[in-house]
Amino acid sequence: MKSLPESISKVFQEEGRWVLSKTGNRFSAIPFDQAHEQENKVVKSAGGAVGLTENPVAFRRWMLSGPETTRLLHQFESQYLEDSDERGGRLNHEMGLSAQKTFKQQMNKLVDVMRKMGNPFLDDFPELVTLDSRDCADDDVAKAVKNLDTLGQTQYREYVKTVIEDRTISIHNTIKRNNIPLYKKRPLRNKSKQTKKIAALQNNVALFAQLYIAMQSRNADLEEFFSHEVQPFPPSLSEFGNLRLPSAKSELLKCLIPSTQAEPPTQFDCSVLDGAVVVHCLPVTGSNTFDDYAHNVFIPHLSRQRSTRVDVVWDTYIPNSLKESTREKRGKGVRRKVDGGTPVISIGSATAMTNCTHEEADTRIVVHILHAIQVEKAKTVLVRTVDNDVLVILRLPVFHALTGCDTTSGFFGKGKKSAWQAWEIFPEVTPTFEMLAKTPFMQLTTDSPLFKQIERYTVIMYDKLSPLSDINLTRMELFCKNGRTMDKLPPTQDALLQHVRRAVFQAGIWTVSDQPQPHVPSPGQFSWSEDDGKWVPKWITILEVSKAC
The pLDDT tens digits along the chain (549 residues) read 567 777 777 766 666 667 888 777 777 788 877 887 777 776 666 556 666 777 888 878 877 777 777 778 778 877 776 554 444 455 667 777 888 899 999 999 888 877 776 676 777 777 787 766 677 888 788 888 889 999 999 999 999 999 999 999 998 899 888 888 877 655 555 555 556 555 655 566 556 555 645 654 555 577 888 888 888 888 899 887 888 888 777 777 777 766 666 787 888 999 999 988 888 888 877 777 778 888 888 889 988 888 889 999 988 877 777 776 666 655 556 666 665 543 333 445 556 677 888 888 888 888 898 888 988 888 898 888 887 778 788 788 999 999 998 889 999 989 888 999 999 999 999 999 999 999 999 999 999 999 999 999 999 999 999 999 999 999 989 988 887 877 788 999 999 999 999 999 999 999 998 898 899 999 999 999 988 778 889 999 998 877 776
Q: In this predicted structure, what is the pLDDT of residue 219?
A: 56
Cβ–Cβ under 8 Å, residues 313 and 368:
yes
CA distance 408 to 499: 7
Q: Which residues pair with 384 in a beta bridge?
A: 273
What's residue 205's pLDDT?
Answer: 54
Q: Helix and strand tally (H, E) in the chain?
A: 23, 10
Q: Looking at the DSSP assignment, which residues form a beta bridge with residue 382?
A: 271
Q: What is the number of other CB atoms lying within 10 angstroms of the CB of residue 186?
A: 6
Cβ–Cβ < 8 Å for 302, 271: no
Are the C-beta atoms of residues 187 and 328 closer than 8 Å to each other? no
Do 410 and 244 contact (CB within 8 A), yes or no?
A: yes
Work out the number of other CB atoms within 10 angstroms of the CB of residue 122: 7
Query: How much is the pLDDT for 333?
Result: 60
530: which strand partners?
535
Q: What is the pLDDT of residue 500?
A: 96
Question: In angstroms, rounded to a whole number, what is the distance separating the alpha carbons of residues 471 and 515?
Answer: 37
CB 332 within 8 A of CB 188: no
Half-sphere exposure of 15 (CA within 13 A, CB side): 8
- The DSSP output letter for 305 is S
Q: Is 311 helix (H, G, I), strand (E, B) or coil?
A: strand
Q: Are strands 307-313 and 346-347 parallel, antiparallel or unpaired?
A: antiparallel
Coil, strand or helix at 273: strand
**Contact between 472 and 225 (Cβ < 8 Å):** no
- Angle, helices 449-462 vs 493-511, to 10°: value is 110
Question: Where on the phi/psi map is residue 299: left (φ > 0), alpha (ψ -120 to 50), or beta?
Answer: alpha
| Spatial separation of the C-alpha atoms in residues 403 and 410, rounded to whole Å | 5
Do residues 450 and 496 lie in contact, with contact meaning Cβ atoms separated by under 8 Å?
no
Q: Each residue of 425-451: b (16+ CB within 10 Å) or e?
A: ebeebeebbeebbeebbbebeeebebb
DSSP 129: B
Distance CA 391, CA 57 (A): 106
Report the 10 Å Cβ neighbour count for 374.
Answer: 10
**Would the pTM count as exceeding 0.75?**
no
pLDDT at 347: 47
**In 164-298, where does DSSP find H-type helix?**
193-217, 222-226, 251-256, 275-281, 290-293
Beta bridge partners of 346: 311
Contact 520, 358 (CB under 8 A): no
Backbone region of residue 527 per phi and psi (left: phi > 0; alpha: psi in -120 to 50; beta: other values)? left
Q: CA–CA separation, 239 vs 498, rounded Å? A: 16
How many angstroms separate the CA atoms of 463 and 458, rounded?
9
- Strands (E) located in 417-546: 528-531, 534-537
Max CA pair span of the chain: 119
Nearest-10 crossing angle of helices 449-462, 416-425: 110
CA-wise closest residue to 253 among 400, 367, 365 = 400
CA distances (Å), origin 348, targets 269, 307, 372, 382:
10, 9, 11, 15
CA 23-29-32 angle, 5° bins: 105
The answer to whether 528 touches 379, Cβ cutoff 8 Å, is no
The three-class DSSP label of residue 131 is coil
